[in-house]
């Protein structure tokens, strides 16, 4: 690993730690607001089917909601909600909707659907544009590190990391 890459990784990690609010919702990190279903809102209300199948961020609506894994997801259409309900594991974001780069370094930071990537048919979200761009430099490495770390931190509160 070159010094430049090491410096870049350190700079990105520092930016994550210093500026990232923890807002993604899981069983130990409930979002400040709950949906009408009494569940935390996933992906900030963005439609995961639109992100995964159409490559675009579409705002979902509360009247087209589905709950999976204790999280409520909103959809832009009944068709998208039906697709999600038929196969929720396909559409839910990886790493519980937390920033994949953050998870790759053992942290839980909010994932923003405005900075999302679909890799090998899976949805990954990121904290911000800078972190998303860092991910682009080593997608497979970041995904592999995040997968290993997620097994360790999935059930740990973000504030405890």
Each residue's pLDDT tens digit, 141-151: 999 999 999 99
Query: Domain limits of the chain?
Result: 3-155
Confidence check: pLDDT of 34 > 70: no
pLDDT tier at 39, thresholds 50, 70, 90: confident
Question: What pLDDT is recorded for position 38?
Answer: 76
Mean per-residue pLDDT over the chain, rounded: 85
Question: What pLDDT is recorded for position 15?
Answer: 54
- For the segment 119-124, the average pLDDT, to the nearest whole number, is 97
Buried-exposed string 63-97: b where 16+ CB fall within 10 A, e elsewhere: ebbbebeebbbbbbeeebbebbeeebeebbbbbbb
The better pLDDT of the pair 72, 28 is held by 72
């Amino acid at each position: 690993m070159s010094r430049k890459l090491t410096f870049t990784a350190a700079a990105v990690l520092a930016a994550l730690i210093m500026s990232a609010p923890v807002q993604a919702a899981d069983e130990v990190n409930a979002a400040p607001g709950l949906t009408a279903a009494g569940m935390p809102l996933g992906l900030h209300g963005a439609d995961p089917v639109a992100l995964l199948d159409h490559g675009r961020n579409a705002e979902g609506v509360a009247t087209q909601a589905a709950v999976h894994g204790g999280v409520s997801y909103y959809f832009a259409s009944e068709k998208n909600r039906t697709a999600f309900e038929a196969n929720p594991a396909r559409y839910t974001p990886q790493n519980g909707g937390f920033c994949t780069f953050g998870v790759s370094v053992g942290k839980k930071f909010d994932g923003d659907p405005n900075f999302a990537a679909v890799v090998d048919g899976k949805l990954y979200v990121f904290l911000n544009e800078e972190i998303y761009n860092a991910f682009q430099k080593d997608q497979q490495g970041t995904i592999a590190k995040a997968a290993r770390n997620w097994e360790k931190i999935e059930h740990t509160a973000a504030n405890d990391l």
